[in-house]
Amino acid sequence: MIDRRSFLSLIAALSSAAAHPAWAGGDSASGDKAKAPAPPIQLGQPQPFSRDQLVALAKTRAQSDYVAPQQIPQEWIDLTYDQYRGIGFKPESGLWKNTKRPINVEFFAPGLYFPSPVSISVVEGDEARPVLFSKDVFNFAHLVPDLPVDDTLGYAGFRVRTTINDPVRTDEFLVFQGASYFRAVGEGQYYGLSARGLAIDTAEPSGEEFPDFLAFWIESAQPGAKSFKVHALMDSPSVSGLYTFNVTAGSSTEMDVQASLFPRKELNHVGIGAETSMFLFDETNRHRFDDFRPAVHDSDGLLIANGAGEILWRHLANPLALQVSSFVDNNPRGFGLMQRPRGFSDFADLEAHYHKRPGLWVTPGEDWGEGSVTLVEIPADREIYDNIVAYWRPRTPLAAGTEHQFTYRLTWCEEPPIDPTLPRVVNTRMGKRFYGGRLVTIDFSNADILPKDLDELSVHVSSNRGKVTKGLLQRNPDTGGVRLAFTFHAKEIKSMELRAQLMMEGKPASEVWLYRWTA
């Protein structure tokens, strides 16, 4: 089974290249090979299409043994990282380029980390036409060797562009490339965390399984349309399935997801609405990193709106050993990895733009029943590693030989679509106290619910072991909100689960703040 760190570092590296279209032409220092005119994308013969037909295809695949995808010629797989980056799609060859369609689509070359191509088709009405592979739609930098072409070649994925930031110019806002991973942004945002179709056996000692999207069907978006659909056929040794994404770009990009899953074997540890992000350091663990920046992360917390009506904020950690947290729930209202610091000075990074990375909120489309929002935190020493995973794990395993349907909405956003009434956690800091213990400060945002007299608030601070002080409340003149400060004493204890919340007249006056501290 592939190592998670190796796999995700490769995906992250190529995704960062995709986020910067200026790199797509290759190595300008070494010069490009002679560029031919950009030919249009060619489509094959039409075939009947319906979503029911694709669901039936996934069901049929699940009734047979898994067959690994065919690989492309070895010369493409043997490309170096710089050589692969030197293969750039010609923008003028884009599907629906220079038309009145609201989107246009560009394609990624196969090779290197993407040894198996995906099938891509364009849907018009009840017909689908395959997108035919052509080497001529790419520019090749001088450092790229001559590469053979045969029938095994196909595209590695695709990016979608629209007028999300400008009424005339189109910008990339959605990418499908690598296993079942995909990422999107809203207006003014930069790529950060990723979503994936399905997580299987994440953090299990036996190893993690990475299902693949083997084929895509992109429905033609008509002029004036606000949304478009992408269908994706998924397969892996354990499960086959069909995903439909109804995508709407905007200030927050929304994706309504309909998934039909057909397990080949019982899936005991499966993750629905899975997200993958990066958290390296902030004010809670700044002492471990010699870096000019005050913080480095794509997300700094897991937000949960649970079925009991609570809003939970679990601040992320970069532990020294793998840790898994399960937030048991019944019919969650939503969850997501979020990025709350939004000022440039919070990161001071002119290249990464971490302050403009989106959060990703998952809203179930139906009652998901009993299960747990699961958070996996993996040790990381570099920001290229996506070391944070979050997903919904159903309590009841998904039985083999039957269909399991899930619907949910993914919102790539700055703020999640939930009630903003309660003061939210905007920052967490930690440090050693001179006379013993560790000091924690939690800044809550200003909100109408907060009284002028802070004595009207009560503070609930607790831990599962060790000792915590009562807590002190002060106004924060910079935020206009409230700062809670308390000290905890771990002594010989190796880990503590910390919890804090503001209350007023017996009712919540803030989100619930959660943190797992490890020695």
Distance CA 132, CA 212 (A): 20
Identify the pLDDT of residue 7: 53
Give the Cβ contact number of residue 70 at 10 Å: 11
Q: What is the pLDDT of residues 233-267, one digit of tens each?
A: 999 999 999 999 999 999 999 999 999 999 999 99
Percentage, residues of the chain above pLDDT 70: 93
Q: What is the pLDDT of residues 129-179, one digit of tens each?
A: 999 999 999 999 999 999 999 999 999 999 999 999 999 899 999 999 999
> What is the β-pairing status of strands 119-124 and 212-219?
parallel
Structure token digits, residue 20: 């910067």
Distance CA 204, CA 130 (A): 38
**Cβ-contact 321, 367 below 8 angstroms:** no
Residues whose CB falls within 8 Å of the CB of residue 213, separated by 6 or more in sequence, listed in order: 118, 176, 179, 180, 197, 232, 233, 234, 243
Identify the pLDDT of residue 32: 57
The beta strands (E) that lie in 369-489 are given as: 370-377, 388-394, 404-413, 425-432, 438-444, 458-463, 467-468, 472-475, 482-489
- When computed from its CA atoms, the radius of gyration of the chain, rounded to whole angstroms, is 24
* CATH architecture group of domain 4-413: Distorted Sandwich (2.70)
Residues whose CB falls within 8 Å of the CB of residue 88, separated by 6 or more in sequence, listed in order: 23, 24, 25, 26, 138, 139, 141
Name the H helices within 19-106: 51-62, 74-77, 81-85
Identify the pLDDT of residue 12: 56
Q: What's the count of helices (H) and strands (E) in the chain, helices before strands?
A: 4, 35
Distance CA 392, CA 457 (A): 34
Alpha carbon dihedral 263, 268, 273, 276, in 10-degree steps, equals: -110
One-letter amino acid identity for 50?
A: S
DSSP 91: G
Distances from the Cα of 120 to the Cα of 43, 158, 354, angstroms? 10, 9, 32
In the chain, CATH 2.70.98.10 covers 4-413
Determine the length of the chain.
Answer: 519
Identify the pLDDT of residue 37: 76
Distance CA 161, CA 232 (A): 19
- Which helix (H) or strand (E) is 11 found in, with range? helix 4-18
Identify the pLDDT of residue 38: 85
Identify the pLDDT of residue 460: 96
Distance CA 427, CA 424 (A): 9
Distance CA 231, CA 120 (A): 10
What is the C-alpha end-to-end distance of the chain, expressed in Å? 31
Distance CA 457, CA 508 (A): 10
In the chain, CATH 2.60.40.10 covers 425-518
Identify the pLDDT of residue 23: 31
One-letter amino acid identity for 410?
A: L
Per-residue pLDDT tens listing for the chain (519 residues): 345 555 555 555 555 444 433 233 333 333 456 566 789 999 999 999 999 999 999 999 999 999 999 999 999 999 999 999 999 999 999 999 999 999 999 999 999 999 999 999 999 999 999 999 999 999 999 999 999 999 999 999 999 999 999 998 999 999 999 999 999 999 999 999 999 999 999 999 999 999 999 999 999 998 989 999 999 999 999 999 999 999 999 999 999 999 999 999 999 999 999 999 999 999 999 999 999 999 999 999 999 999 999 999 999 999 999 999 999 999 999 999 999 999 999 999 999 999 999 999 999 999 999 999 999 999 999 999 999 999 999 999 999 999 999 999 999 999 999 988 899 999 999 999 888 899 999 999 999 999 999 999 999 999 999 899 999 999 999 999 999 999 999 888 889 999 999 999 999 999 999 999 998
Identify the pLDDT of residue 1: 38
Selecting from 3.30.1950.10, 2.130.10.10, 2.30.110.10, 2.60.40.10, what CATH number does the domain 425-518 have? 2.60.40.10
Distances from the Cα of 490 to the Cα of 57, 169, 351, 442, 512, angstroms? 56, 55, 39, 19, 21
Residues whose CB falls within 8 Å of the CB of residue 482, separated by 6 or more in sequence, listed in order: 423, 443, 444, 446, 450, 454, 457, 473, 474, 475, 476, 502, 510
> What is the β-pairing status of strands 311-315 and 512-518?
parallel
Identify the pLDDT of residue 491: 84
